[in-house]
Amino acid sequence: MDLDDFKEDWSKDTIIYSRPLKSLQPINGTSSIVYRIRKHIRNDFLKMTLFYLLLLLIFILRSQTALSLFLISLITFLLLVQGALYFWRFFLFYKKLLRYDLSLRKSLRRIAYELEINIELYRNMVYCAVPLTSLVLIGLIGENSILTFFRQLVLFPSPLTITGLLPPFLWVLILQIIIYQLLKWHIRIHYTRYLNALNQILEDIDREA
């Protein structure tokens, strides 16, 4: 038995498609790579916006000095704008991907190329946002905190000494490393693995015959 023996069966394998069924609303969630990435990006954008808006609100309600309110609101606003610019870029990327009628190789190349650029942009955006967000959080928790630890993080010891500065610096560094690792994991699970899957298919297509 070989492939050509099935050709006749294949062509005779007809289906009767006359009866329209019930409405397609709602249909099951879609599962293509592009839709999944879009879903993750949309969720990330919503979570990020909510997070920063919540921070702003807390600051406005809790801030004790006008200067801290101004500085931290400004940083939060900048983070929001930075995030919005990235997500706008991604929205344009997604719109471009709606063409599925190109050849398989061309279509996948385009998705993989654009996706790689967008993952890098996303990585840069979140990596730049982390230190600023950490500062905002430390400021938020530290300014009004009754905990000595947080107060020490915000109000550096006086007079300033290397040994006095070391503990808060170390804490900030550890916090950064933990957040970076979490983000790396998040990007790998939600984006990079799809890119790897696309690259694997492209490798199969490009494999020399």
Partner 1 sequence: MKVNAKMSCTKQSRFVELLETHVGILHKVSRLYQDQKEDQDDLFQDIILQLWQSFDTFRGDSEFSSWMYKVSINTAITYFKKKNRRPDRQVLPDTAILATESRSSVEQEDRMAILYSALHKLDKVEKALVFLYLEGQNSREIALALGISAVNVRVRLTRIKTKLKTILKSMGYGS
3-state secondary structure 160-198: CCHHHHHHHHHHHHHHHHHHHHHHHHHHHHHHHHHHHHH
Length of the chain: 209
For residue 159, state whether it binds partner 1 (rule: CB under 8 A): no
Is the separation of the CB atoms in 113 and 121 below 8 Å? no
For residue 100, state whether it binds partner 1 (rule: CB under 8 A): yes
Q: Which is nearer to partner 1, 37 or 126 (CB)?
A: 37
For residue 65, state whether it binds partner 1 (rule: CB under 8 A): no
Structure tokens at 65: 């000095």
For residue 95, state whether it binds partner 1 (rule: CB under 8 A): no
For residue 209, state whether it binds partner 1 (rule: CB under 8 A): yes
For residue 33, state whether it binds partner 1 (rule: CB under 8 A): yes
Q: Which is nearer to partner 1, 30 or 161 (CB)?
A: 30
Structure tokens at 83: 């995030």
- Plot region of 14 (φ>0 → left; ψ -120 to 50 → alpha; else → beta): beta
CA atoms within 13 A on the CB side of 77: 8
- Residues 122-151 touching partner 1, rule: CB under 8 A, are none
Member of 105, 124, 156, 178 binding partner 1 (CB under 8 A): 105
For residue 160, state whether it binds partner 1 (rule: CB under 8 A): no
* Contact positions vs partner 1 (CB under 8 A): 1-4, 6-7, 9-34, 36, 98-108, 111, 194, 197-198, 201, 204-205, 209
